[in-house]
Structure 1
Amino acid sequence: MSDFPLNYLTGYGARALAILPLTKGMIAISSIVTLVVALLLLGAIFRSRAAFDPRGLVQDTGPLRWVYLGAALTVAALAGVLVWTMTTMAAAVRTGPEAALSLEVTGRQWWWEVRYLDRAHPSNIFTTANEIHIPIGKFVRVDLRGGDVSHSFWVPALGGKTDMIPGQVNTTWLQADKVGSYRGQCSEYCGKQHAHMAFTVIAESEAQFEAWRTAQLRSVAPADPEPSASAEGRATFQTRCGACHTVRGTSAGGRVGPDLTHVMSRGTIAAGTLPNTLGSLAGWVADPQHLKPGAKMPVLEMSGPEIHSVTAYLATLN
């Protein structure tokens, strides 16, 4: 569970804090407008001064000064909100210091591919899924791609929404002032499992982040030569799952599904749909369509022993 759920009324980073006053201001203005309209409507109902002729037709009752006044106030309010919105958008895209970290996030149906870039040292580039780790207080550049259909990247406690469009790269920024996990969500309807397309941003100290990144760069350990459930599971995984999933250090090199090299280091599976436990893993391997109908992962029709061995192998991928 995230420390900071989907709540757009709080902010813990420069972009979110830039947007927050506008959000609260718009809520206040909308509430006032609704109240005024309701009061005027009630006044018109209970204190109507319209005169009717014998034929039942409404006659002109005088000048339209209230209409003119209402129109003027509306135009002034809309103009003010427009200026406020444009100013806020400019502040939200302002990055401040140079990015300490660059990521590439691609929206898939229905999960998030996260690539950590390092142009100076390409050997330090690695890929993970559905979980983004960032060092606290640092500006992180995020290049967003729509992998199949349009998605939208949204971490409300850290900033606004940015669309992800196939064939186009949009850029956003993350920066967190407080340690913790922040819930993110796709906010552009993208298909059957749109509601189950979540991710987590984990803001941690620089030392913790570097330790996590170092661990993520490691390939998996060599296979155990002795017969075991995990050794059998590795062979089964490479045969049955390796065409779609990657586990670095093995022959599994598929790019259709998430990279599973360090899957057990993540808090959830299936893009926030399930907690990352052995029971959830076994259920997901056995029948992903029951848990997330329409997902790209097919039912592989594995036997009970095969599911047990594959789950035992996945449990070793920390």
Structure 2
Amino acid sequence: MRGVKSGAAIATAIALAGCNMHQSTLAPFGADAVDIRRLFLLMLVGAVVIATGLALLMRHAVRAREGALTHQKGMRVVLWLGGVIPTVVLLGLLVYSLPYMKPRPVGPADMRIAVEGEQFWWRVTYRPPGGGAVETANEVRIPVGRTVAFRLTAADVVHSFWIPGLGGKMDMIPGRTNTLVVRADKAGRYRGQCAEFCGLSHALMALDVVAMEPAAFDAWLAAQRRPAAAVATAADPGARLFAANGCTACHVVGSGSARGIGPDLTHFGARETLAAGILPMTTANVARFIRHPEATKPGVRMPAFPQLSHGEAIAIARYLQGLK
């Protein structure tokens, strides 16, 4: 009995481990995810009904006396349970699900956000109607109640863009652009994930997702177009170390249309996480990632800077955290 209880406890713990309000298809904050949950629950109920029916049929077959089922009755059972009923059920599911397969329409005034998957981070570019492009990284912000079209591609290998609470997943393929159209219905901070194995740190390629009220989103996007508050402080020791160690060769800091090899750091300090949603935004974490990024993300393409002292790394980290 004790073993049964232990097994039940372990199974319950494993099941509850998937119940995350910030990254779960069962806790939707987008209209498309609501439809996906509805279809899932419908099919789950159908599967339970079918499994229960099969269990009862097996129980009846085992307990029936020998010869109770004639060949004619057996063929009738096969016809109904193996042909007619499955056909009707599958046809009903198809008819019910067809409206959900229709893509959401996109108008000229809707927001376009280009997301490019790289090993192992996300390049995010906002292209608002009538405005210039704004680039950031590892964080997606969307307005509640507005249609958003994600234009998805990849720079190196195949990735998969998935925000479980917002909509379905879609592959990101080098040389090809896929479009995922969604609409958030509830404000909050959520999480996305790369859902296609893309290398050693595939499981460490997360994505912060912030659904904002429209007015707050417009104000945030306008702020992103402005230079970061600390860009003008060129005399900052962290800024000098950042430039002296060649960091500007890969990272863009400041406004403009330049595209860096690595993530854009213009408003780095305003983000709540670093390393694509893996670490909290603290000075110690930033400094440690600068010196030894491979310790956090195996296979990362960012070079290590072990020659920097702890104090120098802290100075650069403080400078980057001041970019807001």
Shorter-chain-normalised TM-score: which range? 0.7 to 0.9
Equivalent position of 1:263 in the other structure: 268
Q: How far is the alpha carbon of 1:83 from its aligned partner?
A: 2.9
Equivalent position of 1:312 in the other structure: 318
Q: How far is the alpha carbon of 1:116 from its aligned partner?
A: 0.8
Mapped partners of 2:195, 2:107: distance in 1: 28
Would you say the 8 A contact 1:116–1:125 is kept in 2?
Answer: yes
- What is the 5 A alignment of 1:121-270? 121=131, 124-220=132-228, 221-224=230-233, 226=235, 231-238=236-243, 239-248=245-254, 255-270=260-275
Mapped partners of 1:95, 1:4: distance in 2: 28
Would you say the 8 A contact 2:104–2:181 is kept in 1?
Answer: no
Q: How far is the alpha carbon of 1:196 from its aligned partner?
A: 1.6
Aligned-pair identity (%): 39
Equivalent position of 1:104 in the other structure: 114
Would you say the 8 A contact 1:158–1:175 is kept in 2?
Answer: yes
TM-score between both structures, scaled by the size of structure 1: 0.84
Q: 1:303 to 1:45 in 2, by over 3 A?
A: farther
CA deviation vs aligned residue, 1:153-185 (integer Å, no higher than 9, x gap): 222222112221221111112322222112212
Q: 1:278 to 1:286 in 2, by over 3 A?
A: same
Would you say the 8 A contact 1:150–1:164 is kept in 2?
Answer: yes
Q: 1:224 to 1:88 in 2, by over 3 A?
A: closer
Q: 1:31 to 1:243 in 2, by over 3 A?
A: farther
Residue 43 of structure 2 aligns to a residue in which SS? helix
Give the gaps of 5 or more residues in structure 1.
52-59
2:79 to 58, 68, 71: 68
Structure 2: which amino acid aligns with 1:36? G
Q: How far is the alpha carbon of 1:274 from its aligned partner?
A: 0.7
Give the gaps of 5 or more residues in structure 2.
1-19
Would you say the 8 A contact 1:4–1:180 is kept in 2?
Answer: no
**Larger mean Cα displacement after TM superposition, 139-148 or 187-196:** 187-196
Q: 1:234 to 1:30 in 2, by over 3 A?
A: same
Would you say the 8 A contact 2:225–2:255 is kept in 1?
Answer: no
Would you say the 8 A contact 2:159–2:194 is kept in 1?
Answer: yes
Q: How far is the alpha carbon of 1:262 from its aligned partner?
A: 0.7
Structure 2: which amino acid aligns with 1:65? R
- The answer to whether residue 296 in structure 2 is matched with residue 287 in structure 1 is no
Equivalent position of 1:113 in the other structure: 123
- The answer to whether residue 30 in structure 2 is matched with residue 13 in structure 1 is yes
Residue 288 of structure 2 aligns to a residue in which SS? helix
Structure 2: which amino acid aligns with 1:210? D
Structure 1: which amino acid aligns with 2:88? A
Q: 1:74 to 1:268 in 2, by over 3 A?
A: same
Mapped partners of 2:315, 2:213: distance in 1: 36
Mapped partners of 1:254, 1:236: distance in 2: 21
Mapped partners of 1:161, 1:271: distance in 2: 18
- The answer to whether residue 97 in structure 2 is matched with residue 85 in structure 1 is yes
Structure 1: which amino acid aligns with 2:321? A
Q: 1:233 to 1:225 in 2, by over 3 A?
A: closer
- What is the 5 A alignment of 1:21-32? 21-32=38-49
Equivalent position of 2:10 in the other structure: none
TM-score between both structures, scaled by the size of structure 2: 0.83
Mapped partners of 1:140, 1:315: distance in 2: 29
